[in-house]
Amino acid sequence: MNSPYELVLRLAGQKPVRKQYKTGPAAALKYAHGWLTKHQTKPGKSATLYSIHSATQRFEHAEEIPLPEKSSVDFYASQPWKKLAHDAIANRRKQCLQDGSVFSCALCFKAFGPGVQAHADHIKPRSLYPDLALDMSNIQILCSDCNLGKSNRDATDWR
From the list 61, 52, 57, the residue with the least C-alpha distance to 22 is 52
How many C-beta neighbours within 10 Å does residue 47 have?
Answer: 27
From the list 49, 52, 44, 55, the residue with the least C-alpha distance to 15 is 44
When asked if residue 111 is in the footprint of Zn ion (CB under 5 A), the reply is no
If you ran DSSP here, which 8-state letter would residue 118 be given?
Answer: E
Shortest distance (Å) from residue 156 CB to Zn ion: 13
Element (H, E) at 96: helix 79-99
Q: Which is nearer to Zn ion, 67 or 108 (CB)?
A: 108
CA angle 105, 108, 112 (to 5 degrees): 35
Q: Which of 9, 120, 141, 143 binds Zn ion (CB under 5 A)?
A: 143
Number of residues that bind Zn ion (CB under 5 A): 6
Q: Which of 1, 90, 97, 108 binds Zn ion (CB under 5 A)?
A: 108
When asked if residue 89 is in the footprint of Zn ion (CB under 5 A), the reply is no
Shortest distance (Å) from residue 24 CB to Zn ion: 32
Q: Which residues bind Zn ion (CB under 5 A)?
A: 105, 107-108, 110, 143, 146
